[in-house]
A and B are shown apart, each in its own frame.
Chain A
Amino acid sequence: MRLALRYWTTIAINAAGQRKREEIAPAKAFFLASFPEFTIHSEVSDALVQRQLLHWFKRGTQRDEKGRFLAQLCLKCFISSQIERVCQQLAVQFGTEHSFTCGDLLPFVLDDDSRRYAQAATNQSPAPYQSFSDEILQSFDPEQSSLATWTTRRVRHHRELNDFLLEQGVYLVSDWAILNDTTPKQLDRIFSQFHQLTTVEIQQAKQLLENYHAVYRAQRLKQRQAGIKGKCLPPTREQLNQINQRLSSLTPQMLSEVTLLTKLQEIASRLRQYRIHVRGGALPKDETDPMTLAERIPYPNSDTTNDQTEFLRVYRQHFLTSLDQAIAQVTSDRVTKLQCKDPQKAQGFIIALQLFHCQERSMSDIAKQLNLKAQFHVSRLLKLKAFRADIQRELLVYLRDRIFEQAKTYIQPERLQTFHQQIEDALNEQVTHVIEEAATEASTATVEKHRSQSSLFSRRLCRHLDTRSNP
């Protein structure tokens, strides 16, 4: 159920590139006259209204040419508002992290000139220009889906919109990629367990998938070998024909190209639904910054605590040297690696690291300074979490090498884990010690620990970065 006003309010981009919301009076009058059961603010049954409007739009006679245009107008208003919803949703979900707003997306998909609505309503002449919403309306089949779902689907697959989003680090896997990567066995399980389809339906879908694979995937591999890049495009007419040829030896009736394409898309969309369901749950992952892990892990027994005391005594001396070594090594590994790919990236990495850790600048600031399109690209460049984890691991290796005897006892995975935790604790301990000497204000232990701990890391890192720039 949606508000009725969506059927006479259009969302469009004006000449200045601004989003504009406009009420189309003739559409409103037509709608309210055609559906007297609804008032301005009441909710309407979309399925019912859309079917009726579509009927008038498609079957409009000479006698009722005006009704035909007005019905179309109402439907297009609805489409425009749905387009905006999709864009809003994308902006809500990814906008902040990937630096774009709903306003950045709308121009790709709202290419209708709002003035034409009014013109169309008065002149009653078909506009020669076909907008995206025209396309959506013309390809819409109420037997297959609702207009909202159909609009969402079309926006989702809009080429330019996708290109823009990809530049911002957001992407949509194509139907064809999903089909490529699905085995008949997976399809069987998903269609029977998740979608609870009948055996016959599953059998047909499997047959289609297998023959699609035999044609489309084989050609994709060939294209790859020929160095052709890019997304998986919909199967060509020729490919559909080849699939049909293969199917014809298995089933008596030939499918039309359009039917075949639709059937494949249906399979893909079912797989996508499953995929969406699965993506709801990610792999269990310890998201904690490795540097703060120790704070959360209680020591299992007193034995470990004794170990720990001994451990701390021995390690304190080596701690800073090892940390410095680890920082230097991991940083230079990163730079070397980037240097091979793109020297400018290597340069950017060092600058970004310095800005973030030593000047405490925000990621979006850094993006601007480095001329990167989005903050996301800074995250990709720095990969801070991995950077810290790698330093921590190398720190462990240095420490281990220094006290070889003790390391010999760490061959069990559980022992290694404990050992690792101890090092983390040593890290905390060490930092706390440094901070106490500095006699900073007393604060709640965890917060203080956390802040000061990263500052030791930052300080040693900045020291290293300084030596790098002024050797």
Chain B
Amino acid sequence: MTHYSNLTTQMELDFEALAVESIELSLEAIDQAAELATQIPNEQRQWQTYLNALALFSFEQWLAERSPEMRVNKEECSLFQPAMANSIEAVFNLKVHGFKLCLIATGSLMDEEVTLPRAVIDLPEFVPHFYVLIDVREEQEMAVIRGFLPYNQLLEKRARVNVTADEDWTYQFPLTWFDGSLDRLLLNLRCLEPSAIPLPAVPDDRLTQLSRMRSQLEALLPQLQSPERQLWQVLSWEQGAVVLTNPELLNWLYQLQTQDEAQPDISLTPYLSDLLQLLTQKAVNVRRWLWNELDELAQEFSWQLLPSFAGANAMRSLTQEVRSPAEEFEGIVRELQHNNVEISTEARGAYRNLQLGETPLRLYALTWLLLSESVPEWTLLLIVGTPSQTSLPVGLKLRLSDQTGVLVEQELDTDENHPYFFTSVVGTQDEKFIATVSLGSGIEQTLPPFSFTLER
């Protein structure tokens, strides 16, 4: 009768009883989870994101039922930042009662091993006090909170058995590492001080690292254009650590992977270079121009401060053959004002010459503070001309970017003779801009970023 007893075992285990503590998922929760999932370009990841979202909603519901005094703070939660959810498959940066939590959603396949993204274990930015395992049954529209694991215990266990991360930047841990007594998790959340589980300090050299790998990343990141391509297939873990902890780079990746295939955004690749420089390079603080000062960087790059032009001498000789840069600048500003370009009388400017291939150019920059808005803002007006006031070369381009993307990309009109062309941008005081002048066929020059801060 051995056959029969085999069958019995199989029968016994195949059906499952609905757990008393199972959480029913509402239609709204399912709907919202599906919605969040579709923001992720990678199909395989969409499903996991869907399960992750269901895990979060069920966890919220569970907590509200078991301990309504505690609320789930989702403000910084990874799930609602598609760029982050697109790169790390877990729900993290979730807060409850001062604790950071990371939710790991598992599905109908019950696995002896739990997969955790390496990022939520090895990157201090994302490390939680507790990992919480949630069994999501999408088909049955319910979920069960299965267990939890405090960060310090995870470290101890990992050290004891010496588990290393897989090449796809995940860890596989035994299910048995998790503690199934959820009453204890609630007790900890409610009564423990977060300091009882020390978290690792966030390293302060991320930017140094980024500037060290700048050129590598500039070459590697565009290879991730296909959403099916995974970060680990292209980057080393050290590079990954820098990219994953940098919201701007994650955003760039997300834009790259979500762009319309039929109409790819061609500015994304040049923008990467701008972004990497913005993130890693020191900026010229143009606010100091208003105080009649040039910082070291401006001096290093040969910026020359121009005199304040308000009330400038209108009696200047117009017949003079070679005008000084200041006179030239004034002339341009007057013409701009004449053409209804608003320029504050408080504005200060500077110029520098630059050589683009064979062409000598002169770049003027003008800045002023805008106090009319509720948040103070600053303007940067850039003018490209030539030292000899001849026409600008055809095909000349000027690109201005900030940390969100390319703001302006202008090309000189071919059919008109222009002695200069200009563009202006406005930003808050923590924003920086980076400008690139190019002549096509790879001849281009990017200037150090411009910032506008109170620091000297």
Q: How far is the CA of A290 from the CA of B65 in the complex (A)?
A: 18
Q: Which of B7, B13, B183 contacts A279 (CB 8 A)?
A: B13
| Contact present for B181 and A285 (CB under 8 Å) | yes
Nearest CB in chain A: distance from B54 CB, A: 10
Q: Which residue of A lies closest to B152 (CB)?
A: A413
Residues of chain B lying within 8 A (CB to CB) of residue A337: 64-65, 68
Residues of chain B lying within 8 A (CB to CB) of residue A279: 13, 16, 110
Q: Which of A97, A148, A276, A411 contacts B14 (CB 8 A)?
A: A276
| Contact present for B17 and A376 (CB under 8 Å) | yes
| Contact present for B27 and A390 (CB under 8 Å) | no
| Contact present for A390 and B18 (CB under 8 Å) | no
Question: With A98-B17, A283-B147, A376-B17 as given contacts, are A180 and B47 in contact (CB-CB < 8 Å)?
Answer: yes
Q: Which of B31, B37, B66, B107 contacts A227 (CB 8 A)?
A: B31
Q: Mark A402-438, 1 if CB is under 8 A from B, else 0.
A: 0000000011110010001000000000000000000
- A189 CB–B CB distance under 8 Å: yes
Q: How far is the CA of A231 from the CA of B9 in the complex (A)?
A: 25
- A303 CB–B CB distance under 8 Å: no
Q: Mark B40-73, 1 if CB is under 8 A from A, else 0.
A: 0001101110110000000000001111100000
Q: How far is the CA of A390 from the CA of B189 in the complex (A)?
A: 12
| Contact present for B16 and A173 (CB under 8 Å) | yes
Q: Which of A50-58, A317-325, A392-400 contacts B (4 or more CB under 8 A)?
A: A392-400
List residues of B (1-50) whose CB comes within 8 Å of A's CBs.
1, 3-4, 7-18, 20-21, 27, 30-31, 33-35, 37-38, 43-44, 46-48, 50
Question: With A224-B30, A279-B13, A285-B180 as given contacts, are A420 and B187 in contact (CB-CB < 8 Å)?
Answer: yes
| Contact present for A283 and B146 (CB under 8 Å) | yes
Q: Which residue of A lies closest to B26 (CB)?
A: A341
Chain B: interface residue count, which band? 35 or more
Residues of chain A lying within 8 A (CB to CB) of residue B191: 393, 396-397, 400, 410, 416, 420
| Contact present for A386 and B66 (CB under 8 Å) | yes
| Contact present for B187 and A396 (CB under 8 Å) | yes
- B263 CB–A CB distance under 8 Å: no
Question: With A229-B141, A383-B20, A393-B67 as given contacts, are A173 and B108 in contact (CB-CB < 8 Å)?
Answer: yes
Q: How far is the CA of A178 from the CA of B139 in the complex (A)?
A: 9
List residues of B (206-228) whose CB comes within 8 Å of A's CBs.
none
List residues of A (183-201) whose CB comes within 8 Å of B's CBs.
183, 185-186, 189-190
Question: With A224-B30, A283-B146 as given contacts, are A411 and B44 in contact (CB-CB < 8 Å)?
Answer: no
Q: How far is the CA of A190 from the CA of B18 in the complex (A)?
A: 26
Nearest CB in chain B: distance from A296 CB, A: 14
Q: Which residue of A lies closest to B194 (CB)?
A: A411
Q: Which of B4, B15, B66, B187 contacts A165 (CB 8 A)?
A: B15
| Contact present for B178 and A283 (CB under 8 Å) | yes
| Contact present for A148 and B3 (CB under 8 Å) | yes
Q: How far is the CA of A56 from the CA of B332 in the complex (A)?
A: 102
Q: Which residue of B lies closest to A82 (CB)?
A: B7
- B314 CB–A CB distance under 8 Å: no
Q: Which residue of A lies closest to B168 (CB)?
A: A185
- A89 CB–B CB distance under 8 Å: yes
Question: With A290-B183, A386-B21, A389-B183 as given contacts, are A218 and B12 in contact (CB-CB < 8 Å)?
Answer: no
Question: With A169-B17, A280-B13 as given contacts, are A225 and B192 in contact (CB-CB < 8 Å)?
Answer: no
| Contact present for A218 and B20 (CB under 8 Å) | no
| Contact present for A413 and B15 (CB under 8 Å) | no
List residues of A (224-277) whose CB comes within 8 Å of B's CBs.
224-225, 227, 229, 231-232, 271-272, 274-276
- B113 CB–A CB distance under 8 Å: yes
- A9 CB–B CB distance under 8 Å: no
Q: How far is the CA of A218 from the CA of B17 in the complex (A)?
A: 29
- A310 CB–B CB distance under 8 Å: no
Residues of chain A lying within 8 A (CB to CB) of residue B394: none
- A182 CB–B CB distance under 8 Å: yes
- A93 CB–B CB distance under 8 Å: yes
Residues of chain A lying within 8 A (CB to CB) of residue B168: 185
| Contact present for B108 and A177 (CB under 8 Å) | yes
List residues of B (355-404) whose CB comes within 8 Å of A's CBs.
none
Q: Which residue of B lies closest to A408 (CB)?
A: B193
| Contact present for A89 and B8 (CB under 8 Å) | yes
Q: How far is the CA of A352 from the CA of B192 in the complex (A)?
A: 33
| Contact present for A282 and B180 (CB under 8 Å) | yes
Residues of chain B lying within 8 A (CB to CB) of residue A149: 7
- A286 CB–B CB distance under 8 Å: yes
| Contact present for A170 and B16 (CB under 8 Å) | yes
| Contact present for A94 and B11 (CB under 8 Å) | no
| Contact present for A379 and B181 (CB under 8 Å) | no
- B455 CB–A CB distance under 8 Å: no
Residues of chain B lying within 8 A (CB to CB) of residue A173: 16, 108, 137, 139-140
Residues of chain B lying within 8 A (CB to CB) of residue A336: 68
Nearest CB in chain A: distance from B111 CB, A: 6
| Contact present for A180 and B113 (CB under 8 Å) | no
Residues of chain A lying within 8 A (CB to CB) of residue B193: 411
Q: Which of B3, B21, B106 contacts A383 (CB 8 A)?
A: B21
Q: Mark A363-379, 1 if CB is under 8 A from B, else 0.
A: 00000000000001001
Question: With A227-B27, A411-B192 as given contacts, are A94 and B7 in contact (CB-CB < 8 Å)?
Answer: no
Q: Mark A146-183, 1 if CB is under 8 A from B, else 0.
A: 00110010001000000001000111111011101111
Residues of chain A lying within 8 A (CB to CB) of residue B113: 189
- A33 CB–B CB distance under 8 Å: no
Residues of chain A lying within 8 A (CB to CB) of residue B20: 376, 379-380, 383, 385
Can you list 16 A-B contacts (CB < 8 A)? A1-B1, A1-B3, A94-B17, A152-B7, A172-B14, A173-B140, A177-B108, A177-B137, A180-B47, A229-B27, A278-B110, A284-B180, A286-B181, A390-B67, A411-B196, A413-B196
Known pairs A93-B11, A275-B109, A420-B191 / 9 extra A-B pairs, C-beta < 8 Å: A2-B3, A89-B12, A180-B138, A213-B47, A278-B175, A389-B183, A393-B186, A411-B195, A413-B150
Q: Which residues of A contact B (CB under 8 A)?
A: 1-2, 46, 85-86, 89-90, 93-94, 97-98, 148-149, 152, 156, 165, 169-174, 176-178, 180-183, 185-186, 189-190, 210, 213-214, 217-218, 221-222, 224-225, 227, 229, 231-232, 271-272, 274-276, 278-286, 290, 333-334, 336-337, 376, 379-380, 383, 385-386, 389-390, 392-393, 396-397, 400, 410-413, 416, 420
